[in-house]
Amino acid sequence: MRTQVGIVGAGPAGLLLSHLLHLNGIESVVLETRARDQIESTIRAGVLEQGTMDLLTESGVGDRMKAEGALHHGFELAFDGKRRRIDLKDLTGHAITVYAQHEVIKDLVAARVAAGGSVVFGVSDVSIHGIETTSPSLHYVHDGQPHVLDCDFIIGCDGSQGVSRTAIPQSLRRDYERVFPFGWFGILVEGGPTAEELIYARNDRGFALVSTRSPNVQRMYFQCDPKDSVDAWSDDRIWAEMHARVDSADGQQVVDGRIFQKNIVGMRSFVSATMQHGRLFLAGDAAHIVPPTGAKGLNLAVSDVRILKNALGEYYKTGKGELLAAYSETALKRIWRAEHFSYWMTRLMHRLDDASPFEQQLQLAELEHVTTSRTAAKSMAENYVGSVVV
């Protein structure tokens, strides 16, 4: 089998790229190790920047996002017993939408199926060959049978544990990583919302986040030891911790509900500063990871895809490869900006065990500055909604 662009991974990056290439008359095949129902049911949070919202809408896959997503014009920072609002709309003219990543995937899979696109689920033993030639190929097994997919280009969108990044020789890769000594304990709650917008809480006991998934389902997180056990946390203990970290001195409280899911996620920053080699290009989590504090992961994947779509479009329209050659350099400008913002916000909002009392007071002073200085608030808001030009 042959196609123009072979894509490894049916996450948001791979599916969106395939969809956008289709709209530009470019053929692609997406290979995915998991089944369709698995990728559509793996629950992951999603905060969509204005640019991501616009691209989904412009490409015809934004209707359900607009109908079911929660459009937010700001968020609250809770610290020192009070809450203060960052008005995104007023400060930047833009907003965000809280819309889960697996819902984005559902919309993209539906669009590819409706267009007759080729998405092959349940493959195994994927390997990448010939990326230093003009005829790279993907080898894989499907339904017990070996297959070879010949391509012009291969795009690796298979996440941090996939095969794509390791297909670039170690001697050519420049990888940067920062592992944080804490994680997030996440819960899904059946119940009413605590607030109309997200709440980011900084407390001496640790960070907490409150987000509305739907009118009847809430998503909440609190800082924990990444080696902790979910079984060690009863519902009563969880709610006591959430109240201690988020409730404000003026009586505003977290709304309890029935907890129906618990999980713990680690926190790290990672960048592979070599996002291309030969005919192989990396996008999304295959190339970079951000801590979720800054809500950048999905949006960075979309940014990568937008750049690749334009570069591949130029190549197939004119035969020129300048944009493809500049892909890493172009993408990394946005990536490092987002990595810095996510790192800054993570250190601002979390309890840092190695921080002295002096440094803890500096955290509070910075939060006070961000929430009282329009200039500081605008900088935070611009980074959050993705309107910073790099």
Catalytically annotated residues? 72, 200, 292, 296, 384
In three-state secondary structure terms, 232 is helix
Which residues, other chains included, contact 375 with Cβ-Cβ below 8 Å and sequence gap of 6+? none
17 touches 308 (CB < 8 A): yes
Return all residues near 199 (Cβ < 8 A) that are at least 6 apart.
75, 76, 77, 78, 83, 208, 209, 210, 211, 246
Q: Which two tokens stand for residue 2?
A: 């042959």
Give the residue carrying structure tokens 């990394």: 332
How buried is residue 99: exposed, middle or buried, by Cβ count under 10 Å (0-12/13-18/19+)?
buried
Residue type, 94: H
Query: Can you tell me the distance from the alpha carbon of 114 to that of 95, in angstroms, rounded to the nearest whole number?
Result: 30
For residue 367, the Cα-to-chain-centroid distance in whole angstroms is 24
